[in-house]
Amino acid sequence: VGGPMAMAWQVPLKKIQWVMDVNFYGTVHSIQSFLPSMLEDNQQRYIVNIASMAGFYTAPYLSAYEAAKHAVIAWTEALYHDLKTRQSNMVISLVNPGWVNTN
């Protein structure tokens, strides 16, 4: 979700929480729900996290969205390193699409 377009200090905390809940915590909850059982069977599995090109830059009026997407990128990179430390055969990818005009 994009969230409200406003100056960072004008975005209501409730809206920031909503954007983080969907865009960041959705990823966190998915990993925590599915990864443990995926690791147990010791077969190669794939995880694809979706962030956004907005996770690589910042611009005015999109503070909550950009913060959430930066967080998904950092979370995915940390997960990659955690899996490598474990010598897991899991494969993790990150997709960062550009602007998509949707309803």
DSSP string, 15-56: HHHHHHHHHTHHHHHHHHHHHHHHHHTTS--EEEEE--GGGS
* Residue 57: active-site member: no
The C-alpha atoms of residue 79 and residue 53 are separated, in whole angstroms, by: 19
- Tell me how crowded residue 42 is: count the other CB atoms within 10 A of its CB: 10
> Of these residues, 25, 46, 61, 65, which one is catalytic?
65
Active site residues: 65
